[in-house]
Amino acid sequence: MHPEAEIRRRTFLTATLAVLLGPAVRPVWGACPVTATNPEGPFYVPGAPFRNRLAPPELPGKRLQISGRVLGADGCNPLAGAVLDVWHADSEGHYFGLEAPRPLAPEEYLLRGRIRTGADGRYAFDTILPGNYRMGRNWARARHIHLIVSHPPGRRLTTQLYFAGDPLNKTDPLVKSSLVIPLRETGEGLAGTFDITLP
C-alpha cells in the first residue's frame, strides 16, 4: 500500500474508534435534529471543482442521483449557499486521485465534487452507486458517500450517506440508521433523497 494511503487508513481507523466510543444520540438544537456525524475517512482530497455530475458517462456503474435540502437546526430554515464537498469509491470500491504526485487537474477529480445549494437550500448531484471494499481482514465497508457540508459563518458537518438494502449495513460499525436512505428505480438508474441539518 502507498505510504500516504496507509497513513490515511490508520487515521481513519483511529477516528472510527472515537466515533464508536462516543455518544450514539444525535444532538438537537431548536426545532430540527442535527444530522448525525461520521468520520471523514482517509480518502479525502481537497480542491474538488464545483459541479453536479461526479461520474463521467463512460465510468462503469449503476447511475445514481442524490438530492435533498440543507437546513439550519434553528428553525429548520433552508440554507442558501451551503457547500457540499462530496466523494466516494467507484463500483469496485476504488477511490481515484489518492496517489497522484502533483495537484489534480479538475477533470481528474473522478467521483469528487462540490455542490452549492440554491436559494431554497436544495442540492442535487449525479454519480454512480459506490461499491463495497475491505478495511482489513475482518471489516468491510457498506456502500457509502462522504460529505463535508458547510455554511458561513461557521456551520460545518462531516458525515456519510448509506443505502438501504446493503447487507453490510448490519456489520459496518460506522453505519447509523439515521444516515441510511432508500433508493428508488428511475428510468435512468437509482435516485434517493438525503436532507442534511447543520448545527
Q: What is the pLDDT of residue 42?
A: 93
Q: What is the pLDDT of residue 194?
A: 98
Q: In this structure, which topology does domain 3-198 adopt according to CATH?
A: Protocatechuate 3,4-Dioxygenase, subunit A (2.60.130)
Task: For residues 121 and 77, give the distance between their C-alpha atoms in angstroms, rounded to a whole number.
Answer: 8
Q: What is the pLDDT of residue 99?
A: 84
- 144 grid coordinates: 457509502
Q: What is the pLDDT of residue 136?
A: 81
Q: What is the pLDDT of residue 20?
A: 47
Cβ neighbours around 5 below 10 Å, total:
14
- 153 grid coordinates: 459563518
Q: For residue range 21-31, what is the model confidence (pLDDT) as tens digits?
A: 443 334 443 47
Task: For residues 5 and 35, give the distance between their C-alpha atoms in angstroms, rounded to a whole number.
Answer: 28
Residue ranges per domain, the chain? 3-198
Predicted TM-score (pTM) of the model is 0.85
The answer to whether the beta carbons of residues 147 and 129 sit under 8 Å apart is no
Q: Return all residues near 14 (Cβ < 8 A) that are at least 6 apart.
A: none
Per-residue pLDDT tens listing for the chain (199 residues): 454 555 455 555 445 544 444 433 344 434 799 999 999 999 999 999 999 999 999 999 999 999 999 999 988 999 999 999 999 999 999 999 998 888 899 999 999 999 999 999 999 999 999 999 998 888 899 999 999 999 998 899 999 999 999 999 999 999 999 999 999 999 999 999 999 999 9
Q: Which residues of 127-155 are buried (b: 16+ CB within 10 A; e: fewer)?
A: bbbbbbeebeeeeebbbbbbbbbbbeeeb
**Three-state secondary-structure class, residue 13:** helix
Task: For residues 132 and 152, give the distance between their C-alpha atoms in angstroms, rounded to a whole number.
Answer: 34
